[in-house]
Structure 1
Amino acid sequence: MRLFKLPAVKIFGAFLAGVLVVIAVAFAGNWPGLPHLSWAEDNGVVQAAPLPGLGPDVIPNMVAGAGPAVVRINTTTISNVSQSNPFLNDPFFRQFFGNQYSIPTQPQESHGLGSGFIVSPDGYILTNEHVISGVSEIEVTLSSREKPYPARKVGADSELDLAVLKIDAEEELPYVTLGDSDSVRVGDWVVAIGNPYGLDHTVTVGVISAKGRPMTIEDKQYRNLLQTDASINPGNSGGPLLNLKGEVVGINTAINAEAQGIGFAIPSSTVKAVFEDLVNKGSVDHPYIGVYLQAVTKEAAKYFGLSDLNGAIVASVVRGGPAYTAGLRQGDVIIGYNGNGVTNPNQLIELVQGTAIGSQVEIKFIRGGVENSVVVTIEAKKS
């Protein structure tokens, strides 16, 4: 699998050099119901102390119940690579023979590893999209069975980094249910199960360190991630982050390679919002208004004559998009969305995320020191 690493933070001086974020986010739909899942010293031997407030059997019992639903995902990618031939790259050779000789290619296999978890007894599996992106073959292995199941992709969304797979088995499969990530508190105990470095069903324990983290990891922009200090390593991607009830509150997604004890997970609330679309349609429709945004800095506030740093600057508008059609233009500062005050671009993104495609919303903005408003119709983002 491809591991996402956090890039170094880049500092930008001028306000128009800020990072631009496109507002194209997933509409929160309805989630189909899923069935519920079914240290002291003694004689000189030092035993591990229990976690504060927990009995010694809480985590082992939870892992015993939820662990069988965690799977290893092996992928194979077949690509054509050019064969090395020194004559074909020699200028003297090409001077006489020209480009009539093409460089031959041959198929080459590459392999990846990730984690996932079963969410229904008939074999639906959740994982990260980047675990299975562009692969030719997917195999899923359960802890109770040595022979892997062939798996097929049911649906995937690169923007959310979520994918649903399906395996077919003659018997009912063990599964876990999705919990409520919105009710998770900072400091709550969580358990990560996965296959780091190919070490199957590795269990690590930690707490929720923070909620609502925005993060840019390689070419992906994540919003609203859970941060945890439970150890997450290469191979953990797609595995579950569980509460002590054995419910999935997040999908392990990334680690900070520059620091220890910092991992991130996609909240289960995000998964619930799009699971039905991934299963039924194979994709997710993202609400879209077609603007690129930038935060209001002190320099920007002075330039635009703003009294504070609240709002989201329209850095550019997609011509022909919903915002452009409604009349928004580059340099407008959005301060309101459908009756809600806008303090920063991330908040505006979350507001759009909760809006149904086809809805009409009032957007208030400042242009040339004067407050204005337009009505924008939310559209689905085109692929």
Structure 2
Amino acid sequence: MTDSPLSSLSSAIAGVVATAAPAVVSVYSHRSRASGFVLKPGFVVTADEALADEGEVSIKLADGTARPATIAGRDHTTDVALLKADTSDLTPIKLSTTVPTLGALSPVVAAAHGMPTALLGTVSLVGGAWRSMRGGDIDARIELDLRLRHGHQGGLALDPSGAAFGMPVLGPRRVLVIPTATIARVAARLETHGRIARGYLGVGLQPVELDDGMGAMVMSVDKSGPSAAAGMRQGDVIVGWNNEKLTGVRSLLRTLGPESVGTVAEITARRGGEPVSFKVTIGERPRA
């Protein structure tokens, strides 16, 4: 008897889930539960948002055993956290650099109490690189149409061929996928440095509309920060950045990525209506 198309589809989905499941674990931290996956021997990736801020961390396997884990590093701006744990008998997942097709079916493999769980959704949006609300650079905008519980965050999103293209997380009113390119880049940095450095000016800024464009008013100044050292004061209005006219506060903040730390920014501003300029050596944002 020939299998029906629905039966063939079901078998295909079950097959790709079974291939990815050995890499997936549950992550326990304080009262929080999440999923995670083995990126490489000794290291597990999970969703930073689902990881508690304090308390012991452990991973739980499908056979019910728990193993202690330590936080190698976490980056709240991209929602990627890296754990160190004994994964000697677990299979690392091979991440794919491909971006899924809009409308494609996407199985998600997560874990509950260590046991693999499976969900099925649709790729509802595919777009270019974007910046998260917390300032993280995400390599592609991918959204899924499915119901994702808190504990499913940190699992694996698969394309119809079974390739893992990212980690599903809960965004504002939608399910987002942190793509593999972002995970690989951030995890490598976390393994080496424990955190992702971010540029720091040491000022609080408020957008203001000027007669000849947009500006950023300095509302507060960290007395020990880079801007204070350069002579910037509360009430100054930034109008230019590295010989370019300022287009807004967000555009300024976008320049403060990891590569900006230690560079010198030439800032033009107005103080009481008079032009002033500063050379600010961008610092590293202090740990929260």
- TM-score normalised over the length of structure 2: 0.76
1:175 equivalent among 89, 93, 101 = 93
RMSD, matched Cα: 3.7
CA contact (8 A) 1:113 1:198 kept: no
Task: Give 1:221-236 correspondences, 5 Å limit.
Answer: 221=134, 223=136, 226=141, 228-231=143-146, 232-236=148-152
Match of 1:204 in 2: 120
Question: Match of 1:355?
Answer: 259
Question: In the alignment, is the contact (CA less than 8 A) between 1:337 and 1:351 conserved in 2?
Answer: no
| Correspondence for 2:26 among 72, 82, 93 | 72
2:63 aligns with 146
Change (3 A) 1:213 1:275: closer
Matches within 5 A, 1:128-277: 128-129=47-48, 130-141=50-61, 145-157=62-74, 159-160=76-77, 161-171=79-89, 173-177=91-95, 179=97, 184=99, 187=102, 189=104, 190-195=106-111, 200-209=116-125, 212=130, 214-215=132-133, 221=134, 223=136, 226=141, 228-231=143-146, 232-243=148-159, 246=162, 248-256=164-172, 259=173, 262-277=174-189
Task: Summarize deviations over 1:302-335 as a string: whole Å, max 9, x none.
Answer: xxx3333x45443322112112212333343434
What is the CA-CA distance between 1:254 and the residue it aligns to?
A: 1.7
Structure 2, unmatched stretches of 5+, are none
CA displacement, residues 73-102 of structure 1 (integer Å, 9 cap, x when unaligned): 234x3xxxxxxxxxxxxxxxxxxxxxxxxx
Shift of 1:207: 1.7
Match of 2:212 among 292, 296, 307: 307
1:303-342 → structure 2 map (5 Å cutoff): 305-308=210-213, 310-338=214-242, 342=246
Residues 109-154 of structure 1, C-alpha deviation per residue, up to 9 Å, x if partnerless? xx4321011111x13111123424313241231xxx4143413214
Look up the equivalent residue of 1:381 and give its one-letter code.
R
Task: Tell me how many residue pairs correspond in the alignment.
Answer: 278
Choose between structure 1 and 2 for higher RCO, CA contacts under 8 A separated by at least 6 residues.
Answer: 1
Q: Which whole-Å CA distance do the structure 2 matches of 1:367 and 1:197 have between them?
A: 59
- Pair 1:47–1:248, CA change in 2 (3 A): closer
Over the matched positions of the two proteins, sequence identity in percent amounts to: 25
Whole-Å Cα distance in 1 between the matches of residues 114 and 239 of structure 2? Answer: 49
State the TM-score, normalizing by the size of structure 1. Answer: 0.59
Please state which structure has a larger fraction of its residues in strand: 2
Q: 1:59 to 1:158 in 2, by over 3 A?
A: same
Closer/same/farther in 2, CA of residues 169 and 289 from structure 1, 3 Å limit? same
Partners of 2:263 and 2:282 within 8 A in 1: yes
Provide the rounded CA distance (Å) in 1 between the counterparts of 2:121 and 2:217: 41
